[in-house]
Chains A and B, each alone.
Chain A
Amino acid sequence: DSGVTQTPKHLITATGQRVTLRCSPRSGDLSVYWYQQSLDQGLQFLIQYYNGEERAKGNILERFSAQQFPDLHSELNLSSLELGDSALYFCASSRKAAGTDGYTFGSGTRLTVV
Chain B
Amino acid sequence: AQSVTQLGSHVSVSEGALVLLRCNYSSSVPPYLFWYVQYPNQGLQLLLKYTSAATLVKGINGFEAEFKKSETSFHLTKPSAHMSDAAEYFCAVGNQGGKLIFGQGTELSVKP
Q: Smallest Cβ distance from A68 to chain B, in angstroms?
A: 15
What mask results when residues 89 to 114 of chain A are scored 1 for a CB within 8 Å of chain B, else 0?
A: 01010000111111111111000000
The answer to whether A42 and B104 touch across the interface, beta carbons within 8 angstroms, is yes
Distance of A98 Cα from B93 Cα, bound (Å): 12
- Size class of the B contact interface (CB-based, 8 Å): 20 to 34
Judge whether A100 and B104 touch: CB under 8 Å: no
For A102, what are the chain B residues with a Cβ–Cβ distance below 8 Å?
A: 32, 34, 46, 49, 92, 94, 100
**Does B70 make an interface contact (CB < 8 A)?**
no
A100→B94 CA distance, assembly (Å)? 6
Asked if A18 lies at the interface with its beta carbon under 8 angstroms from chain B, I say: no
- On chain B, the residues within 8 Å of A103 by CB distance are 44, 46, 100
A111 to chain B, nearest CB (A): 14
Q: How many Å lie between the Cα of A92 and that of B90 in the bound state?
A: 15
The size class of the interface chain A forms with chain B is 20 to 34
Asked if B43 and A106 make an inter-chain contact with CB atoms under 8 angstroms apart, the answer reads yes
A45 at the interface (CB under 8 A from B): yes
Chain A, residue nearest B97 (CB): A98
Interface of B is mostly: strand
Cβ B99 vs Cβ A42 within 8 A: no
A34 vs chain B, min Cβ distance (A): 10
Which of the residues A43, A58, A101 comes within 8 Å of B90, measured between beta carbons? A43
Of A90, A97, A99, the most chain B CB neighbours within 10 A belong to A99
- Min CB gap A97→B, angstroms: 7
Do B43 and A56 touch across chains, with their CB atoms under 8 A apart? no
6 closest cross-chain pairs (CB), A and B = A99-B94, A105-B43, A43-B102, A105-B44, A107-B43, A42-B104
User: Can you pick out 6 interface pairs between chain A and chain B where the beta carbons lie within 8 Å of each other?
Assistant: A42-B102, A99-B100, A100-B51, A102-B32, A102-B100, A107-B42
Interface residues of B (CB under 8 A from A): 32, 34, 36, 42-46, 49, 51, 90, 92, 94-105
Q: Which residues of A contact B (CB under 8 A)?
A: 2, 4, 33, 35, 42-43, 45, 48, 55-56, 58, 90, 92, 97-108
